[in-house]
Every structure is written in C-alpha cells, then in structure tokens.
C-alpha cells in the first residue's frame, strides 16, 4: 500500500501539469476570443500565404513545383480547415495546441534543471510572455516551431544523458519534423553529432559512436527524404525542404540590406524575386536559390569588412529589447488587446519583457543552474539558433524559439537573486551589476530598417485587400482610405483603390487613384498594369499597350503583362505582334487554355488554320469544361470539310 506522503507527491506531480495545461489553454483562448476583429482575423502577408496554401491542399490544388516555404505548417492548417472549413478566425483557436505543448515542455525540461516549483513558474510564463502570446495566435509557424524545437531539446537532453541508437533515431526524426516547420533547428545537428564523437575520443572506441551518428542521420533522412523526393519529381533537382532560403539569406546580407529588409509585398518585392530571371542567371526555383546564395557569398568574399560589420549590426538589433517587426508589428496590434497591453510594451527604447528577460537569463545561466550536459544543450541551442537568425533577418518572430530556454534561465536567475538577498553580498552586487549593464545595453536607442515603414497603414491596406477578395467592397474601401489617412504616401493603397474602382465600374475614380499611386512611385508596375487594363475597358487599346510595355520595361518576363499586351495589340488590329506576345507568354508561364484560345484566334485572323486548330485542340484538352475551344474546333472542321481542305491534326 502506498504511503500518504507518496500519494501526496504523486498528486502534486499530476496536479501541476494539469494546471499548466488549463492555464495555457485559458490564456490563449481568451486572447483569441478578445481579438475576434478584422485586424487579427484577416491573414496578411505570410499568414495569407499559409492560408492560401492550406486551402489549395484541401481542394487538391497543390502546384507541381518545389515547396517555396517549409510545408509542415500549411499541411497542419489544411487539417484544421478540413474540420472547420477555411475560417482563419476559428483556426486561431486551434493554435492553442502549440501554446499548451510549449508550456508543458518547458515544465518537463525545467524539471531536469530546477525544482518543481520553479519549473511550474517557468511553464506559466510561456502563455503570458507577450510576443509569444501574440505570435502563437497568428496563422504562422512560429508557435509550431517553438513547441517542436522544445520537443527536440527534451529528447536530445535524454540522448546526451543516456545515449542509445533508439534515442539517436528519435532525435534525428524530430529534427526533421521540426525542420519542416522552420529549418533553423538543424543548427542542433552538429551538437547532436558532437556528443557521440566526444564519447568516442574519451572511450577510445568508435563502434557505438558511429552507430549513434548513423541513427541520428537515419532518423533525419527518414523524415526529409519524402519531401526531397517530392521536390525532385516537381523540378528534377535536389531541394531538401524549400526554396526560400536563398532569398531570405540575400535579404539580410547585401550592400543595401537596410532597403531589402524593409521591402514590402508589391512591386518592389516582385522585382526582388524576379532578379534571377531578369539577369538570366536562373530559370527555376532551385536556380534562383543558388543565384541568391551566390550573391551573398560574392558579397562576403569581395567585401569581408562590410559583411562582418553588417552581421555585427544585425546581432545588435537581435539583442535589442524592442520587438522588431517583419510583416506584422506587435506594437500596432497591442492597441486592440488588453492582454497585449499588459504583456508587451515599450517606453522609448526600453522594451518589456525582453529588457528584463535577458539580464535575468544571464544571471540564471551564470549562477542559478549547476553545470551539466543538459544545461549545455540548452546553452548551445540558444547560441546557435540565435546565430542562425542573425545570419538571416533578426526579426522578433524568428528569434522566438530561442526565448523559451531563456524563460527557464530567467526563473533560475530570479530565484537565485531572492536566495542571495541578505547574504553573499559581493556575489549579489556583481550579479546585479551584470543585469543592470545588460538592461542598459539592450535598451540603447537604435534605428532599424523596418522603422521607415508605416506598418499601421500597411495593416489597413492588407485588411482591405482581404475584404476585397471576400467580396466586401465597402469594407475594403474604408480600409484603403484609412491606410491613406495613416500614410498619405501609401502608393499601394491608392493602387488597390484603383483596382476596386475598376471592378465597381467607376473608371474615372479608378484612373485618378492609379495616377496618384504613380505620382508617389512612378515605377509601381501594378498601377501601370491596372491602368493598361482600364484603358482596355475604355477600348483605348494603343494607350493600353503603352502601359503594358511600361510594365515589361520594369519586369521583362512578367507573363500577365505579356498576355495583356497581346490582347491589346490583337484588339488594335495588329495580330502578328499579338501572336508574338502570346507565344512568349506561353514560354514564360506554361500552357494555359485561355492563352491558347487567344493564340488560336490570332492564327485564324492570319488564315493559319492548321496552327489555329492545334492551339484550340490543346486548349480543349487543358480545360474540358470550357466549350469555347471545342466549339471553335467543330466550326473550323465544318468549314474546312465544306471546302475539302481538311487540315492536319498535329500538336502544338
């Protein structure tokens, strides 16, 4: 029979995790319920991309191209959408899985280093750490990455303490799973491999270490190989996870990185991603990734001092107590949430909570936790993960996985300070001086690339686009106008207003808004494209062609502008030039049914019946639901049969 003391201890061991689960879930769900407003429920930029990918997966419409972004989060979101439908507002509630998982894992990991009570406190900090609360409630992979990275750390700590092949396989497999959310976790692979190597040198025996290394690699490959093979089938090249690594590396490492780190979605972003095509250096996604990576290597080799200086500056930004935005700014969103107002704020250059978290973490690391292999795993993770973020883009959302271990260190540091109050004054004063110095350093004023962007205006513009796509033109108009009030130089808000007015049929207002957008930014190719299409509606096809050519001057391989130029020239009675545009557009963008129909029409105008038939037959095969190409083929065959000049059946 168990003793009463044992029963009490067992009850506590189960009660604390239950409280953690309940508290984490309650905070997350209350926060999401509080923020059921358009500012939070309309996915923007990256969140919109994940939302669109998830809908495509649900509908079976996954493009046969390599993954642009790591695929785990959109596939997870697609599972949520299969249950609730494509509802971003409701999907935010399901993100509670990652909040609860991260909180529990912080508790379990802390128990290896701290007392039960301190571990409990560390776990409760996870859902109320402001930036975590905010980002776990967004449709982005941040919460998933934090939770999965903590799971990797837990299993790696077990592997370090008691290594065997099964634990090695588990570490490798979990590294692979976490990398499919955010690949930065792969910085832990050298740490995992280092322990068997050190063990081999110590024991002067390599059989077991080699088996452990094989287990690590086998587990990792078992997870990543299916994704790599899928990418290979799509493009015929070796792409382990996704193709966005090269451009992200370039954004943070070039001679004009302040500008590229502040590039916004729209024309400037389009020109950035088209760089490899426009220079003729790449014609595929993997080729573009190699192009951007080579640009960074060339920059580092040709300007090593500037490259190193840029890294140092990014490290400084990484350590800043301010929450540096990427596409969404927590300081903009906090006005809509009492939870955020209480848990994340800044006064001048002092940013809460990081300005307190980091110094307490350093005190805990130095004084609060005894040295052990498990502690070293956490330290190496924080250092290597932070370095990987600094190498790319030091935005707050990217550094969040490194924050969870800091919460553990911070609790240890705070507990140590309380224990030292009243005695060991010399050591206490030393620790307090270290903490004060760190707080001052991370709170020094700094200018960040994103400071030049009015993200409040950007948010309203993005919400307007989302409402427009949902069929709410009045709501979209109000948001675009609000974006302009917040930033009269927001050229994309004017451009989007022009698009909306075009759809609504108000061509005069549409033209005014497009022209205002171009006055702010003359190279706004989206406004130029919109004006060209507007002139087509007005049946001023020569003027429209001029705007489409202006777009192609900026983006020579833009398939939309090339198709529209072909249409304008066709309507202007210049079929030969139109045919050349359609053929070039087909080479750029692949076969499309409506493009083949247009090209077939051009060939008919030129009396090239055989070529017209080939295009129309291919269009009918590509889109069997469209009766136009099929009816056109039947009509041509009837006409040619009547004249006994049946054309050949060839293929395009």
Write the pLDDT tens digit of every residue in 434-478. 999 999 999 999 899 998 899 999 999 999 998 998 899 999 999
Helix (H/G/I), strand (E/B), else coil: 253: coil
Q: What's the confidence (pLDDT) of residue 633?
A: 65
pLDDT tier at 648, thresholds 50, 70, 90: very low
Q: With left for phi above 0 and alpha for psi between -120 and 50, is residue 266 left, alpha or beta?
A: left
Residue 381 burial by Cβ neighbours in a 10 Å radius (0-12, 13-18, 19+): buried
For the stretch 531-559, what's the b/e string if a residue is b when 16 or more beta carbons lie within 10 angstroms of its beta carbon? bbbbbbeeeebebbbbbbebbbebbebbb
Can you list the pairs that 52-57 forms with residues at least 24 positions away whose Cβ atoms lie under 8 Å? 53/77, 53/78, 54/78, 54/80, 54/81, 54/86, 55/81, 55/86
Give CA–CA dist 476/482, Å, rounded. 10
For the stretch 455-466, what's the b/e string if a residue is b when 16 or more beta carbons lie within 10 angstroms of its beta carbon? bbbbbbbbbbbb
**pTM for this structure?**
0.88
Mean pLDDT of the chain: 89
Q: What's the confidence (pLDDT) of residue 589?
A: 62
Assigned token pair, 300: 């580092």
Q: Which of 21-35, 443-457, 509-523, 609-623 has the lowest mean pLDDT?
A: 609-623
Give CA–CA dist 525/523, Å, rounded. 6
Terminal Cα-to-Cα distance of the chain (whole angstroms): 84
pLDDT tier at 611, thresholds 50, 70, 90: low
φ/ψ of 279, rounded to 5, equals -85, -5
Strands (E), 318-476: 345-347, 350-352
How far does Cα 293 stand from its chain's mean position?
Answer: 18
Give CA–CA dist 111/116, Å, rounded. 6
pLDDT tier at 276, thresholds 50, 70, 90: confident
Q: What's the confidence (pLDDT) of residue 101?
A: 98
Q: What's the confidence (pLDDT) of residue 629?
A: 65
Q: Which of 50-59, 262-271, 435-444 has the lowest mean pLDDT?
A: 262-271
Q: What's the confidence (pLDDT) of residue 576?
A: 83
DSSP letters spanning 45-90? THHHHHHHHHHHHHTT---SS--SS-SHHHHHHHHHHHHH-S-HHH
Please name the residues in contact with 633: beta carbons below 8 A apart, sequence gap of 6 or more: 613, 616, 617, 620
Average pLDDT of the segment spanning 165-178: 97
Q: What's the confidence (pLDDT) of residue 651?
A: 37
140 or 613: whose pLDDT is higher? 140
Q: What's the confidence (pLDDT) of residue 169?
A: 97
Contact 348, 440 (CB under 8 A): no
Is pLDDT at 552 greater than 50 in this prediction?
A: yes
pLDDT tier at 364, thresholds 50, 70, 90: very high
Q: Using alpha carbons only, how large is the chain's radius of gyration in Å? A: 29
Is pLDDT at 606 greater than 80 in this prediction?
A: no
């Amino acid at each position: 029979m168990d003793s009463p003391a044992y029963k009490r201890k067992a009850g506590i061991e189960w009660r604390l995790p239950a409280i953690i689960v309940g508290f984490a879930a309650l905070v997350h769900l209350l926060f999401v319920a509080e923020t059921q407003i358009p500012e939070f429920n309309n996915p923007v930029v990256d969140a919109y991309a994940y939302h669109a990918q998830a809908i495509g997966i649900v509908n079976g419409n996954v493009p046969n191209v390599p993954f642009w972004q790591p695929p785990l989060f959109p596939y997870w979101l697609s599972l949520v959408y299969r249950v609730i439908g494509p509802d971003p507002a409701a999907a935010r509630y399901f993100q509670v899985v990652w909040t609860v998982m991260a909180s529990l894992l912080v508790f379990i990991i802390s128990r290896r280093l701290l007392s039960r009570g301190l571990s409990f406190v560390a776990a409760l900090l996870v859902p109320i750490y402001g930036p975590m609360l905010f980002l776990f409630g967004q449709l982005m992979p941040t919460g998933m990455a934090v939770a999965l990275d903590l799971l990797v750390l837990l299993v790696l700590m077990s592997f370090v303490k008691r290594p065997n092949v099964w634990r090695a396989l588990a570490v490798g497999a979990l590294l692979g799973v976490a990398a499919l959310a955010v690949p930065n976790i792969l910085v832990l692979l050298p740490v995992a491999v280092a322990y068997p190597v050190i063990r081999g040198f110590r024991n002067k025996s390599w059989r077991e270490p080699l088996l452990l290394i094989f287990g690590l690699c086998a587990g990792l490959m078992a997870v990543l190989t299916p994704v790599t093979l899928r990418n290979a089938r799509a493009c015929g090249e070796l792409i382990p996870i996704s193709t966005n690594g090269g451009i992200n590396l370039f954004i943070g490492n070039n001679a004009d990185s302040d500008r590229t780190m502040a590039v916004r979605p729209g024309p400037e972003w389009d020109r950035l991603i088209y760089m490899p095509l426009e220079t003729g250096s790449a014609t595929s996604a993997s080729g573009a990734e190699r192009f951007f990576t080579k640009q960074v290597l060339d920059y580092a080799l040709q300007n090593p001092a500037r490259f190193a200086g840029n890294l140092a500056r990014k490290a400084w930004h990484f350590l800043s107590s301010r929450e540096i935005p990427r596409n969404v700014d927590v300081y903009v969103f906090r006005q809509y949430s009492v939870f955020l107002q209480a848990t994340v704020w800044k006064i001048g250059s002092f940013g809460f909570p990081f300005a307190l978290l980091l110094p307490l973490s350093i005190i805990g690391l130095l004084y609060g936790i005894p040295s052990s292999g498990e502690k070293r795993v956490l330290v190496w993770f924080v250092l290597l993960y932070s370095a990987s973020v600094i190498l790319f883009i030091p935005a707050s959302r990217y550094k969040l996985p490194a924050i969870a271990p800091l919460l553990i260190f911070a609790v240890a540091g705070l507990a140590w300070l309380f224990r030292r109050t009243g005695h060991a004054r010399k050591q206490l004063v030393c620790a307090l001086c270290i903490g004060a110095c760190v707080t001052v350093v991370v709170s020094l004023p700094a200018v960040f690339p994103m400071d030049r962007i009015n993200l409040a205006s950007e948010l309203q513009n993005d919400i307007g686009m989302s409402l427009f796509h949902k069929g709410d033109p009045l709501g979209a108009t109000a948001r675009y106008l609000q974006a302009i009030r917040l930033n009269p130089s927001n050229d994309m808000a004017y451009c989007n207003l022009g698009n909306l007015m075009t759809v609504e049929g108000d061509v005069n207002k549409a033209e005014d808004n497009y022209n205002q957008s171009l006055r702010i930014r003359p190279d706004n190719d989206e406004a130029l494209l919109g004006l060209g299409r507007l002139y087509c509606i007005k049946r001023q096809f020569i003027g429209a062609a001029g705007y489409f050519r202006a777009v192609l001057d900026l983006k020579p391989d833009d398939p939309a502008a090339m198709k529209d130029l072909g249409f304008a020239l066709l309507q202007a009675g210049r079929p030969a030039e139109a045919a050349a545009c359609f053929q070039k557009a087909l080479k750029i963008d692949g076969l499309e049914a409506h493009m083949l129909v247009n090209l077939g029409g051009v060939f008919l105008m030129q009396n090239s019946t055989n070529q017209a038939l080939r295009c129309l037959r291919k269009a009918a095969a590509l889109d069997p639901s469209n009766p136009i190409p099929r009816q056109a083929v039947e009509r041509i065959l009837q006409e040619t049969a009547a004249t006994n000049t049946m054309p050949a059946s060839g293929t395009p």
